Structure 1
Amino acid sequence: MIGGADRDVLTDPLRLRSVRRIVGGPLPDDAFDRVAMLVRTLVDAPMGAVCLVDAERQVLAGQAGVPDPLASAREMPLTHSFSRHVVAAGAMQIISDVRTDPRMRDNPAIHEVGAIAYAGAPITDPDGLVVGTLCAIDQEPRVWTPSEIALLSELAEVCSSEVCLRIARAAAEEDRRAAEDARRAAEDARRAAEDARRAAESAHHQLELLAQLTESLAATMDVDEAMRRLCRIATAALADWCVVAVAEGPAGSARVAVADGPAGSARVTAAHRDPARAGDMERLTATATGSRADLRAMMLAVRRAGRTVRTSNGDADLRSRISDADLAAITARAGFGASMIVPIVSPVRRRPLGALLLVKRPEREAFTASEEWTAAEIGRRAGLAVENSRLYREQRHMAEVLQRSLLTELPAIPGIELHARYLPAQDGAAVGGDWYDAFAQPDGSVMVAVGDVSGHDIEAAAGMGQLRNLVRGDAYGRNDEPGELLTALDQALFGLRVGASATMVLARVRRSRAGYTVGFANAGHPPPLLLLPDGSVEVWWVQPEPLLGLLPYEPRTTTQRHVPPGSTLVLYTDGLVEDREQLIDDGIARLSAVLGDAAGRPTDDLCNHLLAAAPRRSDDIALLLIHLT
C-alpha cells in the first residue's frame, strides 16, 4: 500500500513527463545495460539495475544478473519495487537487509528474486526530479562499503547525464513537431531544435568521454597505468597536452596530492596529442619531479585551493611563473595556450589527492564552461581510481603478510639441507592455501610436507594454517608412519568439522645404514621427485588416494623408498606443473627433465631454476627441496 505523500511524489506530472520522455516501454537499452553491468562488476553484486519509476509500474531500462521472467519482461508493478522508496525520499537508500525494514520487508521481490540487500542511488532529470534509480542488489545481508556507495553515486550521475540527454532530445523533437503548425513558429522551432541538437551532441560527447574514462580506469589497479590512460583520453578529447601528478605516501601508497615539502615524492605523468612530442613529455615528467618543479608548485596551489583554475588564451600569468629554463623550453615547444588545472579529489574521503594540468596550443580557443565541468568530472573519476588502487595495494599487502606469517621457517638439521620457495599466483589474490613444512622429531627423523588447500583467498590461507597446525600437533613426538598420521588427520578434520579439503604429501626421513629411508603418504597430490647423485630422476608414482577433508577414508598407505646419500627429494604443489594446454602428467614429465638437466647445481640455485621453468602461473606454488648428504 502506497501512502498519500509517496503517491503525490510518484504521480507528479512533471516527473512522469520526464519518465515518458526517457523510455517508451519495457525494452532493452544497451547504454543502461552497460551501466548495470558496470555496477554488477565493480560493486561485485549479483544484480545491477537501472530502474525508471512511473505512477503504476517500474521499468528495468538496464539490468545485469536479474533472473527471468523479470529480466525478459523488463517491468514490474510498484508492489515489487524497492526503488520507489528512493523516488519518494528523493535520496539514496542503503539497506543491509530489506527484511528488517518496515517499508520493504513485505516486498514480493524478496522471495521471487532473492533480493536481500539493496543500495539505490537516485537518477534525476534536468529539474532535479527523481525519475528512477541505479541500484545494486545482493541475495544475502550485506554491509555496503563507503567506496561501493561512492561508486554507485558516481555511476548514477552518469545515468542522470544520459537521462538529461534523452530528455533534451525528446524536448527538441516535441518543439520541432509543434513548430510545424505555423510557418513562422516552425522556423523558430527549427532554430531552437538546432541549438538543442548541438547541446545534446556536446552532452553526449561528454557522456561518452566520461564513460570511456570510467571504464578504462576501472580496468587497472596500478596508479601509473591509470594516470597514463587518463592522459591519453584527456589529450584525445580536451587538450593538446597534459600533466597529472599524484603524490606518493608511505610505502608507495598514493596518500595526498603533490607533496607539501621537499621530502614528498609525486607520481607525475605527461602526454601530448602529437606523438612527435613524446620525448619532450618524458623530459617534462623528469623535470616536474625535480627540485625546481614549477608546474608541481602550481598544481600544489590548486590542490590546496580545492577548485579548478582556468586561464584564457591570452593570459600569460601561468607561463610567467615557470622559471626553470628546461621546463620553459619544453612547454614552449609543446604549445602553451589556454590552460586548466583541476584538483584530483577522493570521492570517498573528500580529500585532494593530486592535480591535472590541461593545456591547449595557442591557436586554439579557450576552454569553455562545459569543458571545465568535464575536466572536473575527470578529476573526480581519477580520484576514485587512485582510491581503488590504494585500497587494493593495502589489501594485497596485508594478504601477503598473512601468507608469509603462516609459512614455516625451515630448521637447521645436520646432514640435511632444506630449501623452500612460495610464489603467489600471477593473477588474482596474493594469498592462498599452498604451504610447506619441515620439523625434526625427537627420535632423529625429519618430517617434511607440502600441501594445497582448495582456494586462493583468505579462507584458504586460514584453512591452511589450521591444517598445518593439526599435522604438526598430531605428528610431533610420535613414531607413526605418514599413512597412519594422515588417517588420524582425516578423522580429526571430519570430527572437528574443519571445512577444508586439501591435497598433501607427508614424508618421514630416517637415516639408515646405507643412506636414508623415506616413508611417504600421498593424499591426491602430485608425486614427489627424487634427483639421484648420477643425475637420473625418479617419479614416485603411487596408487591414488583421496584428498584430505572428505568423508572418513579407509586407512591410508605408506610407501617406503631407499634413498642414497647425495640425493635431493623434491616436493611441490601443482602450480609448478599445471599448464592449461597440457595434461598434468606432461607437466610432471617436463619438471623431471628440467630437474635432471640441473643436476649438480647448489640446492638453493636449483630452487630458483625449477621456478624459472614453471609455466605462466595461474595458481600458487610451494616448493620444498630436501638434499640428503
Structure 2
Amino acid sequence: MPEQGRESEADLISIAQQQALRWVGLTAASDTGMDRFARLVSRVLRVPMAFVSLVEADRQILPGIFGLTEPWAGRRALPLSHSLCRYVIASGQPLVVPDARADQRLSTHPAVTDLGITAYAGMPLTDADGLVLGSLCAIDHQPRTWGPGELSDLEDLAAACSAELRLRILSAQNRSAQQVLETARAAAEEARSDAQRLEQQAQAGLDHAELLLRASEELAQTSGLEDVRRRVRDLFVGAGKPSYVGLLVADKDELHRVPDPDIERSVEREVLTLSVDAAFPSTQAMRERRAVFVPDREALVAGYSPEAVGFFDRMGFTTVLCLPLWGSRALLGVLAICWAKRHEVGVTERATLTAASGYIAQAVERALYLDERISVARQLQAAMLTDLPLTDGVEINALYQPAADDHMIGGDWYDAYYLPRAPASDGQSSLMVTVGDITGHDMHAATIMGQVRSMLRQATLDHPPYSPATALTALDAACSVLPVETSGTLVHARLDPVDGSPDWKLTWSNAGHPPPLLRTPDGHVAQLVEHDVLLHRSLGPFDRTEHQRPLRPGSTLLLYTDGLVERRDHDMDAAIAQLIALLARHGDRPLDELLGRINNRLAQPAPEDDVVLLAVRTPVVARL
C-alpha cells in the first residue's frame, strides 16, 4: 500500500478516542464479555475466526477472540501494521472484503499474509458520542461473498457490543461522578459555615452533581419508553426542580410526545404529535439541532404560534428549556424542561441539564432499540403459530397469550392438520392435534420448537396409519441422533370418525405434558392422566405408549400448556380443578368464547409464562 495512503498513528486515534478507550478499561487480555461476542459472531455467521478489536495509539488489542492462532492468541495484541480494523477507524464505516488477495489495497497486507485473512467483514464499535473505538470482525480463510443477512446480523451484534462498551464507559464515569459528588458534599459542608451565599452555591453544585449521578444510575436499567418517561419525571430534584419534564420522540418529520403513564394530564394529550414545521420551542430545537430557551411568556408570544402559547398557558408554564436528544447516529427527540414560575437557567445549570439529557438520550435510544426487537420477536412468534384448518364438521379453536416479558418469545405451540383420506373413503378425514412446550423463553426455544413441530409432522405423515405413539417414538429417535437440544413436553393426538356412527375416537400419546381434559355432552369432565416421560434427547429413544377414548357427538377435548395452571406460590392441582370446573360449566359455549373465559379466569393479567389453549369439539349431529 502506498505510504501516503497510511494514516499516521496521531491522525488515526484522537485524544477523545484515547480517553474513551481508557474509560472502557479493556486491555490486551481476555475479557469474558468480549470473548462471548466473538463466539457469537463465529456461531451466527459460521466463520472460523472472529474478534473484538480496539485500536490504541500504537497497537491493536483483542479483548475478545475466537479462532485466532498462536502466537497472536496468547499476546491478544497486533501491531498496527497487521490491523484491518484501522481502516474502519479511519472511515467510520464498515469494511467488507470478499477476497483480500484480489483486493489491490490489501493483497500484500501483513494481516492477509501472516494471519491467513481472506474474507473480512468489520463493523464499527462506537461510544455514546459516535467515536469509533474499534470493530467487530468476522473472518474467513476462504473467499466469501457476505450476504445482506449476514452483514445485518453482524451489524446487530456490533450494536450490542457497542452498547456493552458504552455501559462500561458509563460505569467508569459513574464512579468518577461519585468521587466528584463526595468531594462536592465535603466542600459544601465546609462552606456552609462561611456564608449563606457560598452555601447556596455549594448546594446548587451538589444538586447538579446528584442529578448527573441519578441520571447515570436511574436510566441505566430502563426497558421501554414508558419506563424512561416515568424515571425522567422523578429525576429532577432540588431548589430549581422543574414543574414538568416532557419527552418527545422524533419520527421522520414529526415529534411524538410520550405521555406520563401515571399522571393524567388531559392538556398534555391534546398535543401528542407535532409537525417539525410547527412553531413550538420543541420543534425549533429539532429543526435547528440546538438548545432552545424561552425565559418567559412574553418571549413565547413574540417567537411562537398562538397554538404554542395556548398550550403552555393551559399547562401553566412560564419558562421552557428544550434540549435535543442525540443518539449515537441521529437526533432521537427533544427533552422539554418547564417551570411554572420564571426561572433563570445559569451557565452551570444549563451545562448540567445538557449532560443529563445525554443520559436520557442513551436511555431513549436503548428503549427504541428494545421496542424494535420486541416488535420483531412478536412478529416472529405470530408467524410461527399454526393456521387452524378449515372444517365442515369438527369445531376447532386455539388461543395463544405471550408472557408479560415482551422481548422474550417462547417455546409453547399448537398444531392441527387433517390426515390424508384413505383412497376408498368418502367420509371425513382424521384430524391430528398437538400442544407442546419446549423448555425456555428465548429465540433458541422458539427455534427448537419450530424444528420439533416440523419433525413431528414429518414423523406422523411418514408412518401410516398415523399412530401418535409411533410418531413420538420416531421423534425421540431423531432427537437422540441429531444435534437438536430437545427438552419439553407435548400431547400428540388423533381424532378419527367411526364408520357408520356419529361417534369419533380419540387416540393420544402424552410426553410428560399436563393432562388433557375431555368433556362429554352431559357436562362431565375427565382428566386423561395417562402419560410417558417428557421429551429430552439425553433420555434416549424408547417405545411411546398411546391410549384411546370414545368421543360422543358434542364432546370437547381441551389441550393446554402449563403456563395456564402453574405459577409461583400457587397449587397446580387446585388450578387444574378450577379449569375442570370452568370447562364443565361453560363447555357448551362457542369455542372462542370458552377459551376466552378460561384464559381470563386462570391466566394472570401479566403471565410469567406463555399460555396455549386448543379446543376441539366433535359434531353434534350425525354425519351423513
Q: Which bracket does the TM-score occupy, shorter chain normalised?
A: 0.5 to 0.7
Q: Which residue, 206, 209, 214 being the options, matches 1:207?
A: 209
Q: Deviations over 1:389-412 (max 9, x none)?
A: 111111111111111222211112
Equivalent residue letter for 2:366: N
TM-superposed CA distance for 1:157, in Å, is 3.0
Q: Give the direction of change, closer, same or farther, for the CA distance of 1:90–1:392 in structure 2 (3 Å limit).
A: farther
CA contact (8 A) 2:437 2:561 kept: yes
CA contact (8 A) 2:184 2:206 kept: no
Worse-matched range after superposition: 589-598 or 94-103: 94-103
Equivalent residue letter for 1:317: A
Q: Which residue of 1 aligns with 2:120?
A: none
Q: Give the direction of change, closer, same or farther, for the CA distance of 1:94–1:357 in structure 2 (3 Å limit).
A: farther
CA contact (8 A) 2:267 2:315 kept: no
Q: Give the direction of change, closer, same or farther, for the CA distance of 1:171–1:229 in structure 2 (3 Å limit).
A: closer
TM-score, length of structure 2 as denominator length: 0.68
Name the CA distance, whole Å, in 2 between partners of 1:528 and 1:44: 45
Q: Deviations over 1:497-538 (max 9, x none)?
A: 211212010111111235111111110000110121111211
Show the 5 A alignment for 1:211-290. Answer: 211-234=213-236, 238-247=240-249, 249=251, 260=253, 264=254, 266-269=256-259, 282-287=266-271, 289=273
CA contact (8 A) 2:410 2:445 kept: yes
Show the 5 A alignment for 1:92-491. Answer: 95-97=63-65, 105=74, 145-166=161-182, 201-234=203-236, 238-247=240-249, 249=251, 260=253, 264=254, 266-269=256-259, 282-287=266-271, 289=273, 297-310=280-293, 316-324=298-306, 327-328=309-310, 330-331=312-313, 334=316, 336-337=318-319, 339-346=320-327, 348-349=328-329, 351-362=330-341, 364=343, 366-427=344-405, 429-442=407-420, 443=422, 444-476=429-461, 478-491=464-477
Does 2:589 align with 1:601?
yes
Name the CA distance, whole Å, in 2 between partners of 1:237 and 1:596: 63
Equivalent residue letter for 1:96: G
Name the CA distance, whole Å, in 2 between partners of 1:326 and 1:311: 12
Q: Give the direction of change, closer, same or farther, for the CA distance of 1:330–1:204 in structure 2 (3 Å limit).
A: closer
Q: Give the direction of change, closer, same or farther, for the CA distance of 1:308–1:621 in structure 2 (3 Å limit).
A: same
Q: Deviations over 1:197-244 (max 9, x none)?
A: 876654443232223234433444332442243134337664433352
Q: Give the direction of change, closer, same or farther, for the CA distance of 1:240–1:570 in structure 2 (3 Å limit).
A: same
Q: Give the direction of change, closer, same or farther, for the CA distance of 1:228–1:331 in structure 2 (3 Å limit).
A: farther
Q: Which residue, 538, 543, 547 being the options, matches 1:559?
A: 547
Q: Give the direction of change, closer, same or farther, for the CA distance of 1:319–1:288 in structure 2 (3 Å limit).
A: farther
Name the CA distance, whole Å, in 2 between partners of 1:405 and 1:287: 36
TM-superposed CA distance for 1:287, in Å, is 4.3
Q: Which residue of 1 aligns with 2:7?
A: none
Q: Give the direction of change, closer, same or farther, for the CA distance of 1:449–1:200 in structure 2 (3 Å limit).
A: same
Show the 5 A alignment for 1:605-624. Answer: 605-616=593-604, 617-624=607-614
Worse-matched range after superposition: 569-578 or 375-384: 375-384
Structure 1 residue runs without a partner (length 5+): 1-34, 37-42, 48-84, 108-119, 123-141, 177-186, 250-255
Q: Which residue, 489, 492, 505 being the options, matches 1:517?
A: 505
Q: CA RMSD in A?
A: 4.5
CA contact (8 A) 1:121 1:152 kept: no
Q: Deviations over 1:436-481 (max 9, x none)?
A: 1111112432211111110000000000010001011111152142
Name the CA distance, whole Å, in 1 between partners of 2:215 and 2:226: 15
Equivalent residue letter for 2:64: S
Name the CA distance, whole Å, in 2 between partners of 1:226 and 1:92: 37
Equivalent residue letter for 1:497: P
Name the CA distance, whole Å, in 2 between partners of 1:433 and 1:155: 35
Identity of aligned residues (%): 31
CA contact (8 A) 1:98 1:105 kept: no
Name the CA distance, whole Å, in 2 between partners of 1:270 and 1:613: 30
Equivalent residue letter for 1:476: L
Q: Give the direction of change, closer, same or farther, for the CA distance of 1:171–1:96 in structure 2 (3 Å limit).
A: farther
Name the CA distance, whole Å, in 2 between partners of 1:491 and 1:303: 61
CA contact (8 A) 1:268 1:289 kept: no
Name the CA distance, whole Å, in 1 between partners of 2:545 and 2:571: 26
Name the CA distance, whole Å, in 2 between partners of 1:145 and 1:435: 32
Q: Give the direction of change, closer, same or farther, for the CA distance of 1:326–1:209 in structure 2 (3 Å limit).
A: closer
Name the CA distance, whole Å, in 2 between partners of 1:576 and 1:161: 47
Q: Which residue, 592, 613, 618 being the options, matches 1:628?
A: 618
Equivalent residue letter for 2:178: E
Q: Give the direction of change, closer, same or farther, for the CA distance of 1:159–1:415 in structure 2 (3 Å limit).
A: same
Show the 5 A alignment for 1:481-560. Answer: 481-512=467-498, 513=501, 515-560=503-548
CA contact (8 A) 2:493 2:506 kept: yes
TM-superposed CA distance for 1:145, in Å, is 2.2
Q: Give the direction of change, closer, same or farther, for the CA distance of 1:449–1:236 in structure 2 (3 Å limit).
A: farther
Name the CA distance, whole Å, in 2 between partners of 1:242 and 1:169: 27
Q: Deviations over 1:115-168 (max 9, x none)?
A: xxxxx999xxxxxxxxxxxxxxxxxxx966223333333343333333344567
CA contact (8 A) 1:234 1:242 kept: no
Name the CA distance, whole Å, in 1 between partners of 2:439 and 2:315: 58
Equivalent residue letter for 1:445: S
